A and B are shown apart, each in its own frame.
Chain A
Amino acid sequence: MKVVVDLKLCEGNQRCMEAAPEVFDVREDDKAHLLMERPPESLREKVKLAMRMCPRQAITLED
């Protein structure tokens, strides 16, 4: 699976980082940075939670 963050939408709300800290890191620039673009299957549920939790709905998943 491939994770994409729409940086135009992302406002650094940090929900993704709480849901899947292995994948997302919100830095000083208030944007979510991907720690891995293609997370292993084992993280799918966490990434999906991050997608749901994102207030701006900035995360998409490409299979």
Chain B
Amino acid sequence: MTALTLDVRDVTKRFGDGETAVLAVRGVSLAVQPGEIVLIMGPSGSGKTTLLSMMGALLKPTGGSIRLDGTAISELSESRLPDIRLRQFGFIFQDFNLLSALSVLENVAIVAELAGLRGRAARDKATTLLTELGLAARLDFLPEKLSGGEKQRVAIARALINDPTLILADEPTANLDSKIGHEIMRLLRSIAKEQGRSVVIVSHDQRIRDIADRVLWLEDGAFKDIVTMATDPVCGMAVERERAVSAEKDGDTFFCCSRGCREEFLGGLREDGRADGRQPHGWSRLAGALRSRRRRASTTQSDAS
């Protein structure tokens, strides 16, 4: 596989005109290196899906450019885009988007056929891939007979069948339980790290931060500084680390909402966990401490590229 980079430069997307115009994406820039996993997070309506659609050549940007392996895909005519989508991108969706009338094998093989592989060869290739993903016993099943995790693995096989450069995943763990979600995350990581493919994930799932090389925060259509949240060990309130009052204890850093809580925390710990006769919520205190410890520091970025 050729090492390629997705290069998004100053991309803007506006829907509508005049007073009703909505600027969904505002001058976003982003570069994705081969084998890199980039997680884009942000509140609903922040423009994540619009950005992902533009990166996947499903939507034309209003301004800026998107280059894949040096080719400006944002400038290509509609007639040239199907080949790019077919061979360069692999899509993974929250809703799986499998074709309900086709079996597991056919769902994957059809994409290989679209790329020009003949029927038998396409089926063989799909069978191999699905077997590697642990779906050998499900080849003839219709999607409706599969669990959520199995459906997502089929979608991943479909995304990989044409050996794409870039995997674009939209909320890949959203419809899955915790265990299966982790399984899918491990799979995405191995796709990036063992196969050298770039992976861009749009998600609300905090767990995916664990496998991401970079986490970007999209808000109001633009990348913003990442705010790292922590939980006050005394009152249990979510606080922004950067604005919180920190407290050092036994080599660990804790984040409190106010000096009062900090004093209470430090004093309470000194006095058998009690302060002013008020019992800190034991659970929230412990959980907050753990969260504060576990929270991985993420890169603060104003320009994510």
Are both chains from one complex? no
